[in-house]
Structure 1
């Protein structure tokens, strides 16, 4: 397979890396994490908009770049290298794709330019406490009432749910006692009947619990305004989640590369028994194994980016599950080896290694754990 990039793709990667290298060093990230009320920098978010990254997944018809999954992969590589705290995955990838796939022409024209310009932040509010990695398991319900809908439910661990302007809430359309098709609603965070409780996550980002208690929504809040046939929203949501899997696989590769580089540099400088520990053959073998895991993860990240737009749903599922398994195994192995080779200081907040380790732990569980996807892949083969 040719892993080479086009000139435009290389420019996209270089632009993102320049932003990360210049404006998002480790100390800058620490200051943002410790002092920003929302857990990320609005200034950095606007900078991402200014260089066009927030418009990457916006269709050209709405003034965006109409980028591919490979383009998103390159940006997420650089985001993983810099451990960005901003809601790029939540808003610029998942929410933007959801509106582009499901929204009506009027909804797209209203929301997508605002997302691309950094004027609004949106997030997908989908997971629930009882879902257990089953994305189809949704208990939130929406009932038709008059000229709109009443929605009730509880969404769990919503990325940046406490600061997003718009929550894209998934629910089952149902009359009382019925189990209806899935739908997605654009819900303003400040709407009456919506309660958010933000909290810090293990990787330094923010998430929120979201409760909807008989919140009334106009018909225009339903993405597509009911123009989609039953089952369309569920199929589109699967594609959106698969695009998210491909994106976090790419982010993981960027973080893994930085973690390996930090470990090799430490092994060259840390001396034990009068010589650098990097000269000990046992540790060289461990670092060689880290390289193998990372290269396998890189290859599967390419596969995920290529296959997440495949028209064959079964092929998409197999490829994305396989990629998530290999990348998840790399996250765990490389992260643990890096911490162990650094010794006790590998888990301290002052060292960037611990922050990469925590983000990789979160990625391994995001959109389904390694074990979950391994079972899914096996069942698909059967």
Structure 2
């Protein structure tokens, strides 16, 4: 059955910023002019030099239909309202080739996830690319000969209009005023596109020279871009050491580059990664021993026993995990992983959300080990 919609219901609604937070106004439809302006801003953020308009979204849908095995050529033409496939070839098929030519020529399977990541629409996003002109660049437009000529013609007409206030002179004055504004807007768009083009070529050369010099993330500007993504300082240092390029044919230089990467990796191993916990945090069962009780017991213990001040963070985590495994009735840490000294510290001290998760982990990983790692 068809779904009749109310006349006031619109797919795209207005949005405004209230107290620093975006709010959707569901009862107010978005105007077409606002939609076009936001699509243009979206294209600038992605780094596209051509303007983004609503019909271009149809191009992506056409590519999905063309790449799908479930849609024939006749169905594709029927869906897109094309008389034949020539329309798709001339106007919808991109001119750049995103085929994994290396694997195809070598007779291997195409790496589609990699090619999709390389050719995605967000690959050109660069926060260092300027979207707006600076004050100096806008001031240079006012010195452009075309703009100076438009201002001169408007001033001359204004002087004539003072002495002759007829309708024809007023219309000519308004026309020259619009011409002045249009000239400034046109020169501003041309200069902004020129700056963005020069940035792409200039920044590409800078990045290539930085890689050839031995480091891809060596300047503070590149590190600030990573800091905006809430990266840890250790993670930025890890990327700086891994994104290096051989600069010498000497074997000793390659060893030094390799050793620097190993040191960065070893320093980063103690940092845990991952997204937020799924669902609500599990509460401990009454029979389980909570972390608060362990912490309180450790505080009481430290009052009577002396702790070495030179104990590292990893050793403290291991000691705390060992006490928990020995004293908890239903431990949520795996004693086999804890006793395996070859595993990283965060794997040995990992704590599961509930006791059943520990059992599932033990059955899956250690039930066939036929040996027990000593953790005492």
Q: Which structure dedicates a bigger proportion of its chain to strand?
A: 1
TM-score (normalised: structure 1): 0.19
* Greater Cα radius of gyration, structure 1 or 2: 2
Q: Which has the higher contact order (CA 8 A, sep 6+)?
A: 1
